[in-house]
Structure 1
């Protein structure tokens, strides 16, 4: 069972250069959680105040729901707070539970992904292995996300199967990918099974949110401005994130510098696709305990070293999706 290739910070940085990347902030993580919920609250208020802006609010809220997942991911690495109890409280109750996840379930799964990144034992390998796919296949996937089909499978069918303890039934519910038959990857099955394990906290927190909206006299806003983004925009940007992080990166199983992709995101992409520096994924895989808000600085530092030139860096998410739907020339010729 080979582990993913690793590199020690000392191979690239002097101790005094690496020291700033090791430190944990007492306030940065909690402020990011506050920021995420603040953006959600403002987007919801905007949709209530100006109903014709509800589509914009849906995109903002859905992206910040992904932001909550990203901050849960930070908590899984112990990066939200130097106080581990506060780290886990914030990561679980304020980030994971509202979107139907569980920090306790996510952490061992995700650390296994880091240990075996792009190896056969990587539990996330199924998310990148089917790519590249045809443009038509990707369109179908994104349509399933935006029409709520992925959400229904994640949050209803698979959790029900998981709660019944029927692995065979859960496997039958997972659609095979278009390029690799019988591969259970398309609709983020892992997230759905986590939801199944944490369904009661999710329902209780969301019932509380519905009650709060109702007491404010805008019960409909819970469905239009919280549940609808979770059922549409959130699955779509989660899929795009998964594609961008690992799909179609040559040499990712052999070279620590190519275990993942970094995507240069402009302000619009950061607002609607990639919040909280999630686009710096190659840096994260090299040094997974560096907090997310330090990844841009780490990116610049790495690219002053010759080794940094080996890293996979895309110019934007449109470029990533183009690569994910373009067959290698050799493969295309063989198919012809």
Structure 2
């Protein structure tokens, strides 16, 4: 099957395209600074008022900003963080990708195939949306694996084994391969740990960086994947094989940071910086295409669609699900990304 194509000039005027394509370096830096400011503020909150409530709140905030850093890395993969590509790549790598154990260039190579073949048989991200709809029981099992860190552990384990290379390789070759795959990521995380230790909160690295990375970030990454491409109306129509989800203030804080909910607009114009996607959405909402666009009112509405399969049809399916998880884990390990976008 071949997806339909819509040209940019079919939905926006030349003047509108000029405006929404403009990449302002200061805005990219401001979004990165915002993410890190929230992360450090959440750590400070727990350091000053250590109790279960502030800790859980901090985990949710930090996990959402870790997803936010992945989203900004995604913008960097599209060359949208800065006007200059060298600055764009540096910002994307050192301040977004490496801290969450990702890598912009590896992500870019596979992600552009997703844009070219969205929801087609050879879409590399199809494994993330194809199983849906599922039952609520199935989603509860997935949620439990995500929130308890099982999903995150399996993904990081696959990533680490991939970086180490085959066991039969000589030690020097394995070390060189590991450094090429994950060296900068470990250096960046060592810096994060050192900063925490210097200010007297060394415990913040394992409890307020690694725990959110392995738990809440996994929960909302799955929700984001579902919202973007699962149970879409038409896999061949670019206005209906990708979804935009309206997000309120709480959803933007805890689930969908930095305009990631405007996914339909991103797929139509993937060279537009994320901060211009709301403007693209407003333009499309006033166009003749508005009736065809796949837009849902909230993430809860999307989850209802994605879990519409009756529970009596569940039949556990753990063998099939285990195989899917293994494939997804290998996919994520190889590409050093949470997938999707």
Question: Are the structure 2 counterparts of residues 309 and 216 from structure 1 closer, same or farther at C-alpha, using a change threshold of 3 Å?
Answer: same
Moved over 6 A (4+): none
Unaligned ranges ≥5, structure 2 = 168-177, 315-341
Q: Distance in 1 between matches of 2:16 and 2:34?
A: 29
For residue 253 of structure 2, give the secondary structure of its aligned residue in structure 1. helix
TM-score, with normalisation over the residues of structure 1? 0.85
Question: Which residue number corresponds to residue 124 of structure 1?
Answer: 125
Maintained 8 Å contact 1:118/1:125: yes
Identify the residue that residue 291 of structure 2 maps to in structure 1.
309
Q: Is 1:63 paired with 2:64?
A: yes
Partner residue in 1 for 2:35: 36
Aligned residues: 300
Match of 1:255 in 2: 237
Aligned to 1:89: 90
- How far apart are 1:7 and its partner, in Å? 1.1
Alpha carbons 1:76, 1:106 under 8 Å: kept: yes
SS in 2 for 1:206: helix
Q: What is the 5 A alignment of 1:140-219?
A: 140-161=141-162, 163-165=164-166, 198-219=181-202
Q: Secondary structure at the match of 1:131?
A: coil
Which runs of 5 or more residues in structure 1 are unaligned? 167-194
Q: Secondary structure at the match of 1:308?
A: coil
Q: CA deviation at 1:256?
A: 1.5
* Preserved CA contact (<8 Å) 1:101 1:198: no
Partner of 2:114: 113
Distance 2:183 2:308 in 1: 42
Tell me by how many angstroms 1:25 deviates: 1.2
**Aligned residues of 1:259 and 1:285 also touching (Cα < 8 A):** no
Contact in 1 for aligned 2:68/2:257 (Cα 8 Å): yes
Residue 326 of structure 2 aligns with which residue?
none
Report if aligned partners of 1:163, 1:197 keep a CA contact under 8 Å in 2: no
Higher RCO structure, 1 or 2 (CA under 8 Å, sep 6+): 2
